[in-house]
Each structure stands twice: as structure tokens, then as C-alpha cells.
Amino acid sequence: MRKLILTALVAAGLIGAAGAAQASEGGAPLIKMPHSWDGVFGRYNKAQLKRGFQVFHDVCSNCHTLRLVAYRNLSEVGLTPDEIKVVAAEREIPDAPNDEGVVVNRPGRASDKYIGPFPNEKAAAAANGGALPPDLSLINKARVSGPDYVYSLMMGYEDVAPEGHPIPEGKFYNKFFPGNAISMPPQVMDDLVTYADGTKATKEQLSADIVAFLNWAAEPELDQRKGMGLYVMLFLGVLTALFYALKRQIWADVH
Ligand code: HEC
């Protein structure tokens, strides 16, 4: 029994250690934030997802793609069918060749994947000093401690690089980015957008909201998955109780 308790303690210690502050590749320890979707009972906050979409739409989508998200899926972050149509039609993509074999552009539709701001990756890189803005669909999964990293990255710019960190022309100092010189200019500042729901758009709020939206983009099924998990646990609990009662009944006469 003592051995069992010891093992349990060691395991708990290991799990705890894995959750300890993580230094980013840029050197600074990441800023840790609680998220509405953390833990067994955690779920996305719908109002936050919608705000996060507004930040993506108004700011990030001017440089970044979001290739895995179809416009119609934006209903899950609270956009109405009409709003979705409007957002989709803001950009154009090449249509199928017409009867003369000529390709013309058409406005986006709800069934299209989110259309990027540039016609191709070369154009995207060329417009950004040679650095390609990565697709953001899976960014929260693609980076270690993704949500904390993206939040920290948004907050990690400093106007003046510290001594001994020369920053090349056209790059910016960010204490969380590997190598500290990033081609993306600072993105969030207070009141950058006016939130439709009246939430005060501080730098911190904008960063937290875009991180929530990007987490939804990478893991849209999280709410259903956790709901199902709880249901299964409940089911197993009831089943265990039933079997235990049954066992007692069967053995009652034997004792
Ligand atoms: C003006 C163009 C521009 C805008 C607007 C922009 N980005 Fe970027 N972003 C870039 C570029 C360029 C890179 C590549 C940086 C590099 O490799 O040095 C980048 C890289 C990134 C990365 C990856 C960093 C890494 O570890 O590789 C993330 C995450 C990111 N951007 C998030 C955002 C978010 C969130 C927004 C909106 C709030 C946003 N960006 C808006 C240009 C932009």
C-alpha cells in the first residue's frame, strides 16, 4: 500500500513538473493564461470566439491564411448565415474555367475555405520582406504550448531591443520568437478594433480573444469531445454501481 501511495505521488509530481513554466525558444518564459476551455469542464466561450474572429478578420487575415476553415463553419463562432455570406464575398478566387476555357474570378461563397489575402505564397512572402506569414489554422497545435506561445508572441514586442540584440532592418524585437528578430510587425494595441459586444479592446483582451479563436480553428470539436467524455464517465459510474449491487445480491446467500 505504501508503495502504491509513493508511486501515485511520484506520478503527480511528474505531471506537475510538465505543467511548470516553459521557457520559449526566444528565451523568455511564456506568459501563462487560464483558458475557458482548460480542464474537464472547460468549454469555449462563444462570445470570446466571436470577438476573436473579429480580430482575425480585421487584423490577422490581412497577411495570414486560414486554409482549413470554411466560411460556413463560422456559424460555430456565432456568425449568422447572412454575416457569413458577406464575409465570404469580400474576397475572390478563380472560378472553374468557363465554356471558352477562360478562368475568371468569382466572389467567395459560404462553402469555400477562408480565402487568403494573397494570390500565392510567393506574393505573400514578397509583401512581408521575404518572410511567409504561416497559415494559422493549426498554429495553436503546431507550436509548443501553442495558446500560451501565441498570446505571449502578441504581447512580446519591445520598442527598443535590449543591449546585444541587433535587429536587422525590417524586423522587430520579440522576446518570445526564436532568435528574437521577427518579420511580423507588432499587431495588438489598445482599441485596435471596436468590439461589437462592447467589450473593452485592451491589448490583453485582443490577444486572449485571438488565441481562443485560433484554438477553435485548430480544435473545433473540443466542446463535443469533452461533453462525450463526461457522458461516458457518468455512464461507466452508473454501470459500476449497478454491477456492484448485483454482485452483492448474488453473493448474499453464499456468506
Ligand atoms: C502585416 C502582416 C501581418 C499581420 C497583419 C499579422 N501577421 Fe503574423 N506573421 C507575419 C509574418 C511575416 C510572419 C512570419 C514571421 C517570421 O518568420 O519572421 C508572421 C508569423 C506569425 C506567427 C508565427 C510565429 C512563429 O513562431 O513562427 C504567428 C503565431 C502569427 N504571425 C500570428 C498573428 C496573429 C494572431 C495576427 C493577428 C492578430 C497576425 N499574426 C497578424 C505577418 C503578419
pLDDT in tens, the chain (255 residues): 556 555 555 555 444 444 456 677 777 899 998 999 998 889 999 999 999 999 999 999 999 999 999 999 999 999 999 999 999 999 999 999 999 999 999 999 999 999 999 999 999 999 999 999 999 999 998 888 899 999 999 999 998 888 888 889 899 999 999 999 999 999 999 999 999 899 999 999 999 999 999 999 999 998 889 889 888 999 999 999 999 999 999 998 876
Which residue puts its alpha carbon closest to atom 20 of ligand 1? 133
Closest CA to 75 of 220, 223, 209, 225: 220
Gap from CA of 169 to ligand 1 centroid (Å): 17
Alpha carbons 192 and 5: distance in angstroms, whole number: 53
Please list every protein residue whose CB sits less than 6 Å from any atom of ligand 1. Answer: 55, 59-60, 62-64, 128, 131, 133-134, 139, 143, 150, 153, 177, 182-185, 187, 210
Spatial neighbors of 40 by CB under 8 A, at least 6 apart, are 226, 229, 230
Please report how many Cα atoms fall inside a 13 Å half-sphere around the Cα of residue 10, on the Cβ side: 6
> Three cell numbers at 82?
447572412
> Three cell numbers at 60?
490577422
Closest CA to 31 of 171, 163, 222, 204: 204
Which residue puts its alpha carbon closest to atom 34 of ligand 1? 60
Dihedral of alpha carbons 46, 51, 57, 63, sign: negative
Spatial neighbors of 150 by CB under 8 A, at least 6 apart, are 139, 140, 143, 207, 210, 211, 214
> Three cell numbers at 141?
497545435
Mutational test site, ligand 1, from 25, 56, 63, 132, max ligand atoms within 8 Å of CB: 63
